[in-house]
Structure 1
Amino acid sequence: MRWILLFLLLTPCLLSAQDGNYALGARNGAMAGTSLTFTDGWAAFNNPGALGGLEASTAMITYQNRYNIEGFHVLGGGLVYHHSLVNTAIKYYKFGDDLFNQQVIGLVLANRIQMVSLGAGINIIQTHAEGLSTRRVAALEMGGTAEITRQIIFGAHIFNFKHGTMHPTTMKAGLSFRPKDFLMINTEVEKQLDSREKFKAGLEYAIIKNVLIRTGLNVQGNDLSNSQVRATFGFGFQPKNFLFDYAFSNENLGAIHEISLAYQLKKP
């Protein structure tokens, strides 16, 4: 009976944590996950290829309050060291509590050559459930971005080349359209093996210098009458070298709030 109760308690956690998607950052969350082309520190989580375009060493931390349930919260952060030859990042992700948790630690290397940025990373994913054995697996990832024109940027990312039930292979591709310095429109498609596609769109608009508003739409499935649709919102504030971002979305289990803070060192 104890194991049955434990399984029932952990099932929602398993569904939320073991989805093969460890994207982080409130900017990503506010734009429905359309972050493939973002050249910020959170690229270490969202697309290692985009990290090659970052021109400043960065420290970042984020916190997700999922559904106001302690066992569902997410904490993450990392450090990026900028060098002319290669950008290097270490990252950490944790979902859950003492009863059940999943932790990811990773190393990312990325570089930019003219209009193309490429990167790769290795992640150790640890899954722990009270009373059960702790499991660790390694997951490789690779990604990149390419400037098709000054206004259109293409991005792609694949996470975990070795597909499994608990840690599925996740593939993403998308375009970013930037007609003006103050406006960005992103579209992406995300696909996991054995699951339906996700179609995502996000918009970022600078209402005044260093103050941005964001929104997005995430649709899973190509049949709108039988699809899961999720809207997202948020804003960003960028005083000097600090980057503060907030995101809000609502799912079947409740609301998700995310707050992120990053500090960029001055360019060498």
Structure 2
Amino acid sequence: MKNRLLRFYLYFILYLSPALAFAQADVPAGARAAALGNASVTLPDLWSLHNNVAGIANLQQAHFGAYVENRFSMRELTTVALLAAIPTAKYGSYGLSFSRFGDELYSQQHAGLGVAHKLGQFSLGAKLDIWQIAAEGYGSQKAMALSVGGQAEIIPDLYFGAYAYNLNQAKLAAFEDERLPTIMKAGLSYRPYHKLLLVAETEKNIDYNATFKAGIEYQLLQNKFILRTGFQSLTNRATFGAGFIARHLLVDYAFGSTTLLGTSHHLSVSYLFSRRQAS
């Protein structure tokens, strides 16, 4: 009975608060990003397909990955995502992403297509996401979100990234002018030496206060084992994590905690295929 009441309260909050109900539409993907406080706008990896699509322009290998996130040990707050990116020698990089959040009472599903191209020290990308939001007893709604991003190496080992999610302010329903969140973020990353990475960024949902995010990544054991930590100012959230690289397999785990809501767990596994041949 207690669990049913808790579920009822949770969904009551979700239905009445767009900030909670649709913030999930732009949750950064990958346990690496999660461990760094989601300060991921400058990172050029597979998960940038979700975090800043410009980052896939820097991939040298075809890459496939899966990501699972659970918030506060509740099955209803679980996200599962699949991503794949393929770089080409002349025509940039292309990626597909799929995700699902929620359960039979409330769920969000998405499919996205992204493309990015590298021009010298600059990388530019764009992505189209199709979202379906469904709530039991209320039906479902679909919306398309257009996002663009860029990354650049300012000076050696100092990088800048910027990303605008849902530029078109996609509408879900006429009631209360319900829309997917529109989010802008920009940040810097710096590698003082090859084992250490520092990242920081500011993110602004146009309807809410800005948040500052930062993280540190340090490589150990001949760059095969990686430790990470980070934080977010708006949610007072501290995060920790680790990564392991075994040839073409990458495994990352992250653990996050807030003072009020509890803990979250993040796991991502990805595989790099053979390096492409130069034309």
Tell me if TM exceeds 0.5. yes
TM-score normalised by structure 2 residue count? 0.88
Once the two structures are superposed, residues 77-110 of structure 1 have per-residue CA deviations (whole angstroms, 9 ceiling, x without a partner) of 1111111221110001111001100011100001
Task: Tell me if structure 2 keeps the 8 A contact 1:250–1:256.
Answer: yes
Question: Which of 203, 212, 218 is matched with 2:226 structurally?
Answer: 212
Cα deviation 1:199-246 (Å, max 9, x = unaligned): 0111000022211000001101xxxxxxx3111000000110111000
| Pair 1:80–1:39, CA change in 2 (3 A) | same
Alpha-carbon displacement from aligned partner over 1:141-173 (angstroms, at most 9, x marks no partner): 000100001110000000001336441210000
Match of 1:26 among 24, 31, 35: 31
**Change in CA separation of 1:131 and 1:57 when aligned onto 2, cut-off 3 Å:** same
Q: Match of 1:154?
A: 160
Aligned twin of 2:262: 254
Which of 216, 231, 236 is 2:243 aligned to? Answer: 236
Q: Which runs of 5+ in 2 are unaligned?
A: 1-5, 172-177
Give, in whole Å, the separation in 2 of the partners of 1:79 and 1:259. Answer: 16
For residues 13 and 57 of structure 1, what CA distance do their matches in structure 2 show? 38
Cα displacement (A) at 1:137: 0.4
Q: Percent identity of the aligned residues?
A: 34
Q: Which amino acid aligns with 1:132?
A: Y
Name the residue aligned to 1:66: 71
Q: How many equivalent residue pairs?
A: 257
Change (3 A) 1:22 1:104: farther
Asked if the contact 1:17–1:102 (Cα under 8 Å) also holds between the matched residues in 2, the reply is no
Query: Does residue 263 of the first structure (1) align with residue 271 of the second (2)?
Result: yes
Instruction: Give the counterpart letter for 1:266 in structure 2.
Output: S
Q: For 1:51, which of 25, 47, 56 is the aligned residue?
A: 56
> What are the equivalent positions in structure 2 for 1:113-124 lying under 5 Å apart?
113-124=119-130
The whole-number CA distance in structure 2 between the counterparts of 1:94 and 1:13 is 16
SS at match of 1:101: strand
CA-based RMSD: 1.6
> Runs (4+) of structure 1 moved beyond 2 Å?
5-9, 11-17, 162-166
If the length of structure 1 is used for normalisation, what is the TM-score? Answer: 0.92
In 1, Cα distance between equivalents of 2:165 and 2:240: 26
